[in-house]
Amino acid sequence: MMSQETKDVVGPVLGRVPSGVFILVAGDGGKQKTGLLASWLQQASFEPPQVTVAVNKSRYLNDWLTDGCPVTINQVANGDGILFKHFGKGFDPDADAFAGVEILEGRNGLPLLKAAMASMEGRIVSTMEAGDHVIYLVDIIAAAAHQDASEFAPFVHIRKNGFSY
């Protein structure tokens, strides 16, 4: 366990590691679908195109994210005040997470968020435990730009402390 003295030094430095802001969308294999705010996402491979995304172990969505599970990853634009606020509050499993949000249906049957800069569709291919989070490796199989890709200005999140969101 890390001492408080070490945390006081590590926290402010770790919090300055920039991350993007994304909305991860998944379903339970039936009728339920939800989205959650995810900021720990990173490209992991060129060929095949893959990303990793970390989800806190306390989130029920982990029960839905199994190998082969389809997901969509929606990249939030800088200055966005809609998606960040809407999905940042979280949803119960039976709540309509997409009420009031304009969506398109992806090839995988999951919502793509039109207010996002872009959406990527993928499948979970592996999982790794990482402390209080689970890291998912996602094969990207399709993408859609909702804005001109040359004008993307992504939302970049920097935290005050590396030990909290």
Domain membership flag for residue 149: yes
pLDDT digits (tens, 9 = 90+) for 99-158: 999 999 999 999 999 999 999 999 999 999 999 999 999 999 999 999 888 888 999 989
User: Is there a domain that residue 112 lies in?
Assistant: yes
Q: How far apart are CA 6 and CA 155, in angstroms?
A: 30
Cβ–Cβ contacts within 10 Å for residue 130, how many? 13
pTM over 0.75: yes
Cβ burial of 81 (10 Å; 0-12, 13-18, 19+) is exposed
**10 within a domain of the structure (yes/no):** no
pLDDT digits (tens, 9 = 90+) for 15-56: 999 999 999 999 998 889 999 999 999 999 999 999 999 999
pLDDT of residue 150: 85
Structural domain contains residue 162: no
Chain centroid to CA 52:
9
Q: How far apart are alpha carbons 111 and 43 in whole angstroms?
A: 21
Q: How far is CA 137 from the centre of its chain?
A: 12
Beta carbons of 152 and 122 less than 8 angstroms apart: no
What is the rounded CA–CA span in Å between residue 92 and residue 48? 34
Expressed as residue numbers, the domain containing 86 is 16-156
In a domain, 136, yes or no: yes
Q: CATH number of the domain at 91, please.
A: 2.30.110.10
Q: Is residue 81 part of a domain?
A: yes
Please state, in angstroms and as integers, the Cα–Cα distance from residue 20 to each residue in 27, 32, 33, 105, 158, following that order: 23, 26, 23, 23, 9
- Please tell me the predicted confidence (pLDDT) of residue 89: 87
CA–CA dist 157, 138 (Å, integer): 21
**Domains identified in the chain, total number:** 1
Q: Could you tell me the two tokens for 74?
A: 């929606």
Whether 100 maps to a domain, the answer reads: yes
Pairing mode, strands 133-145 and 156-157: unpaired
Instruction: Specify if 161 maps to a domain.
Output: no
Cis amide prior to 48 (ω within 30 degrees): yes
Helices in 15-153 by DSSP H: which ranges?
83-88
